[in-house]
Amino acid sequence: MLKKILPNKILSLNSNIINILIFFLIIFLVIGLIYSLVISPPDYIQGDSVRIMYVHVPSSIISLGCFSFIGIASIFILIFKIRFISFITKSLAPIGCIFALISIVTGSLWGKPTWGVWWVWDARLTSMLILLIFYIAYIYTWKFINNFERANKISSIIGIIGLINIPIIKYSVDWWNTLHQPSSLSLTSLPTIHYTMLIPLAIMFLGMLIYSLIIFLTGYKIEVMKFKLSKKKNHE
């Protein structure tokens, strides 16, 4: 499976694989949305606004995950100069960016009925906004710098600096007093979300993960194709 991601193998990615993924995406999203919007119960104090969580939490996890990968991969790009990793990070960035935006917007929609305000400058919300800014900076570096080597270097530096922000986002709610609540899910303790809410959350997460995979695979393939084409042009 992992070998498929190598630049020469990705070109054999055909619409069959994508169609299968889209099929699963539709199934997960339909079940997930029905479960989270209709079947799952309202919360004991938040009421129906708890349903925003089923989009908010997966988006946040995916946007954090994408940037963690971009940041760590950037270290490898700068040290070992492995070109195809840049194609991966480059095609991951828009996905993470859009999910960071979704996370902030849905969080704000949830904040108004729950906290009483759309936005506060607490550590979690501010660091999440900084992540979005890093994503935008990363994407625009690739967009506006035409020289591949230069864009690669500058974007990798942005990726590594942005990597510092990731643990800050993750642990902001534990290290400092924040208005945002601490995580309900952790590796070391039982989830503090009732299972009738945890199941739709898991289904929605898988659905959104498959969506990200589809966008990533097609984007990555296009990046590799573009590169091969430009190489061919240079030869002629």
Which residues sit at the interface with other proteins, rule CB under 8 A?
41-46, 50, 53, 75, 78-81, 113-117, 120-123, 164, 176-179, 181-184, 192-194, 196-197
43: β partners: 47
CB of 90 to other proteins, least distance (A): 21
Nearer to other proteins, 12 or 189 (CB): 189
Widest CA span in the chain: 68
CB of 108 to other proteins, least distance (A): 14
Nearer to other proteins, 80 or 144 (CB): 80
Q: What are phi and psi of 47, to 5 degrees?
A: 70, -140
CB of 180 to other proteins, least distance (A): 9
CB of 182 to other proteins, least distance (A): 5
Long-range residue pairs from 151-159, CB within 8 A, at least 24 positions apart, any chain:
152/77, 152/86, 153/78, 155/74, 155/86, 155/89, 155/90, 156/74, 156/75, 156/77, 156/78, 156/86, 157/74, 157/78, 158/74, 158/134, 159/67, 159/70, 159/71, 159/73, 159/74, 159/89
Nearer to other proteins, 94 or 122 (CB): 122
Report how far apart, in Å, the C-alpha atoms of 67 and of each of 55, 76, 133, 152 are.
Answer: 19, 14, 12, 16
CB of 58 to other proteins, least distance (A): 15
Nearer to other proteins, 123 or 128 (CB): 123
Nearer to other proteins, 82 or 222 (CB): 82
What is the C-alpha to C-alpha distance for residues 110 and 105, in angstroms, rounded to an integer? 9
Nearer to other proteins, 33 or 153 (CB): 153
CB of 202 to other proteins, least distance (A): 14
Residue 236: HSE in the Cβ half-sphere, 13 Å Cα cutoff: 6
